[in-house]
Amino acid sequence: MTFNELGLQQSLLDAVNDLGFETPSEVQEKAIPILLSKESDFVALAQTGTGKTAAFGFPLIQKIDTQSRTTQALILSPTRELCLQIANEMQLYSKYEKGLNIVAIYGGASITDQAKQIKRGAQIVVATPGRMKDMIRRRMVDITKIDYCVLDEADEMLNMGFFEDIKDILSNTPKEKSTWLFSATMPKEVSTIAKKFMHKPIEITVGAKNAGASTVQHEYYVVGGRDRYAALKRLADANPGIFSVVFCRTKRDTQKIAEKLIEDGYNAGALHGDLSQNQRDLAMNAFRKKQIQMLVATDVAARGIDVDDITHVINYQLPDEIETYTHRSGRTGRAGKSGVSMVIVTRSELRKIKTIERIIKQDFIEKQIPSGIEICEIQLYHLANNIKETTINDEIEGYLPAIGDVLEGIDREELIKKVFSVEFTRFFNYYNKAKDLNSVSSREGNSKGEVPSEGSVRYFINVGERDGYDWMTLKDFLRDTLKLEKDDIFRVDTKDSFSFFNTDASFTPLVLETFTEFKVNGRFVNVEVSNSPEKRNRKKRKGGRSNYGSRGRSNDGSRGGKKDFSKKGRSNRRKGFH
Ligand code: ADP
Ligand code: MG
């Protein structure tokens, strides 16, 4: 199906062309022909990011009489940000329509300015319910002659408690108008609205009702309640290119987590209703420009985020309402891209995951918070790739002799080691004290610092490929040394300078005992349980504090090649290494 077949006038097709839209999305394909040809009420259910704005925007623009300056259409949308987005998007769609005026009205900006714009003649008004009601009351806008009313993100407007406002506003509109309702989900409240204010609406559904976007992978991580923040940092560190929205339940938590992240050197920002409009705009702009990699937000504030390439949505806490989860995860996986929605949960919240799975009709994957060692490795590869991909700055040329003098006598291999140590030592020092954050229901006693007694246990061993092992030879070595059967040792993963393997927990005492003071060719071979936190801590702690949460930045200065990591972080780091 092409845009040409939908019945749109040439001026709109030209705009489509300029926008670079190649084919209509499913909701557009289904909605546009109906809305163009019928004067009827209409309900469309489609997830976020499916192109709903154009689905109602194009037909609306085509139906407006630009000869008349009367307000003919009202679009209600839950937040100021969305209002602006819809208005901006519609400006682009209508760039070739002469005499069409689209005006956005919303709270937090001068009401008299908005009234002036309306007065000049606005055929289409895009409004938040609160401001709309206000302006009706003050007779600054006249919607008594509209032909079309669009309720965009209806579920969210109702979530935000706009039911009464919407009812009020609609009571000022003519009976004969058409009402078009767009929603990502169809909770009871939305069907109530549809029944109450609409007459035999034509209904279309894109994808399964209430289904989350299928390009989103849903993951959960079980941690202790006090480890949420540490887990969040690990998830960020394990995904160096992350560009994410982190959802918290309250404004207070949102502010607190954002502040902590910034303190720890992440490119983070906060978005919530206690900030001034100006502060919110600044945060959104920085996020759009990717100066902020982790935007910590409340559900209400985040409703306005329309950024297409968010890689991860992190649920720092699960929302109270399951419906809200759909909105959160819909922030990623937009415009055909894939995304990950991560949930940090405590054991007691696990049943909520089951409920969400039922509602979104998609399974969650249970994942482990990466261990410190894994993060170090990921960061190293990331750094190596960054170095490889970096375009050489020609200005360096002039300084090469001087640099050459300083580095005289250091060969390539040593140089590489040194360069990488700069990053690695910092991560390693930070993370080798770090405990395992995973809270595993099947294994008991873990939190008391005991060695796991059932299930399978993963170990870290300080030999790897550099020592001439691959997974098979390491497995042979372990089997011979431990005098175990081949199948008793599994998931052997060799890395360059270290490796992992698993055994059943019943062998753990044997493994740990065997590798106590164990030497190969004069070198200590050390094995630690990689998912038993307390044990590693006990060993390393030596009177030191285990509270690594206060250890300053753990962030990867190299992430995304951003130059704007804090100076503070930099100089701290220097201090640490010289
Ligand atoms: P929704 O309201 O369903 O969440 P939007 O209308 O905000 O989705 O559209 C999401 C993104 O997809 C926007 O950036 C929009 O410009 C883009 N988009 C919409 N329709 C198309 C299309 N047919 N082809 C390509 N991109 C599109
Ligand atoms: Mg939308």
Q: For 65-91, what is the mean pLDDT?
A: 94
Does the pLDDT value for residue 528 go beyond 60? yes
Answer whether 134 contacts ligand 1 (Cβ < 6 A).
no
Does the pLDDT value for residue 208 go beyond 60? no
Question: What is the number of the ligand 1 atom nearest to the C-alpha of 47?
Answer: 3
Domain ranges of the chain: 3-205, 216-366, 372-578
Answer whether 53 contacts ligand 1 (Cβ < 6 A).
yes
CA–CA separation, 427 vs 450, rounded Å? 26
Does the pLDDT value for residue 367 go beyond 50? yes
What per-residue confidence (pLDDT) applies to 445? Answer: 35
What per-residue confidence (pLDDT) applies to 323? Answer: 79
Q: Whose CA is nearest to atom 5 of ligand 1?
A: 51
Return the exposure string of 19-48: e unless at least 16 CB atoms fall within 10 Å of the residue's CB, then b. eeeeebbbbbbbbbbbbbeeeebbbbbbbb
What per-residue confidence (pLDDT) applies to 317? Answer: 93
What per-residue confidence (pLDDT) applies to 571? Answer: 31
Average model confidence (pLDDT) across the chain: 83
Dihedral angle sign, alpha carbons of residues 340, 344, 347, 351? negative
- Any idea which of 68-82, 201-215, 455-469 has the lowest mean pLDDT? 201-215
Select from 86, 306, 327, 337 the residue to mutate for testing ligand 1; criterion: most ligand atoms less than 8 Å from CB: 306
What per-residue confidence (pLDDT) applies to 525? Answer: 86
Residue 540 pLDDT class (50, 70, 90 cuts): very low
Q: For 482-506, what is the mean pLDDT?
A: 87
Residue 532 pLDDT class (50, 70, 90 cuts): very low
What per-residue confidence (pLDDT) applies to 453? Answer: 64
Q: Which residue in the block uniquely carries the two structure tokens 């504090």?
A: 545
What per-residue confidence (pLDDT) applies to 254? Answer: 95
Residue 452 pLDDT class (50, 70, 90 cuts): low
| Residue range 372-578, CATH number | 3.30.70.330
Ligand with minimal distance to 2 CA: 1
Backbone angles phi, psi at 170, to 5 degrees: -65, -25
Q: For 403-423, what is the mean pLDDT?
A: 86
Does the pLDDT value for residue 460 go beyond 60? yes
For 69, the 3-state DSSP assignment is coil
DSSP helix, strand, coil percent of the chain (3-state; round to 5): 45, 15, 40
290-322 pLDDT, tens digit per residue, is: 999 999 999 888 876 778 889 999 999 999 888
Q: Which residue in the block uniquely carries the two structure tokens 């989900």?
A: 185
Does the pLDDT value for residue 563 go beyond 70? no
From residue 445, alpha-carbon distances to 438, 487, 512, 532, 555 in Å are: 13, 26, 17, 10, 31
Q: Whose CA is nearest to atom 20 of ligand 1?
A: 51
Q: For 89-116, what is the mean pLDDT?
A: 95
Residue bearing the bigger pLDDT, 245 or 525: 245
What per-residue confidence (pLDDT) applies to 209? Answer: 41
The reply to whether 3-205 and 216-366 are identical in fold is: yes
CA–CA separation, 471 vs 528, rounded Å? 18
Share of residues in the chain with pLDDT > 70 (%): 87
- Please give the CATH topology (third level) of the domain spanning 216-366: Rossmann fold (3.40.50)
30-77 pLDDT, tens digit per residue, is: 999 999 999 999 999 988 778 999 999 999 999 999 999 999 999 999
Ligand with minimal distance to 308 CA: 1
- Expressed in angstroms and rounded, the spacing between residue 46 Cα and the centre of ligand 2 is 9
Answer whether 303 contacts ligand 1 (Cβ < 6 A).
no
CA–CA separation, 414 vs 117, rounded Å? 67
Does the pLDDT value for residue 469 go beyond 80? yes
Does the pLDDT value for residue 441 go beyond 60? no
| Residue range 3-205, CATH number | 3.40.50.300
Residue 457 pLDDT class (50, 70, 90 cuts): confident
- Any idea which of 174-178, 305-309, 451-455 has the lowest mean pLDDT? 451-455
Question: What is the number of the ligand 1 atom nearest to the C-alpha of 184?
Answer: 3
CA–CA separation, 477 vs 485, rounded Å? 12
Answer whether 471 contacts ligand 1 (Cβ < 6 A).
no
What per-residue confidence (pLDDT) applies to 561? Answer: 32
Q: For 141-163, what is the mean pLDDT?
A: 91
What per-residue confidence (pLDDT) applies to 37? Answer: 95
Select from 12, 17, 21, 84 the residue to mutate for testing ligand 1; criterion: most ligand atoms less than 8 Å from CB: 21
What per-residue confidence (pLDDT) applies to 568? Answer: 32
CB atoms within 10 A of CB 403: 10
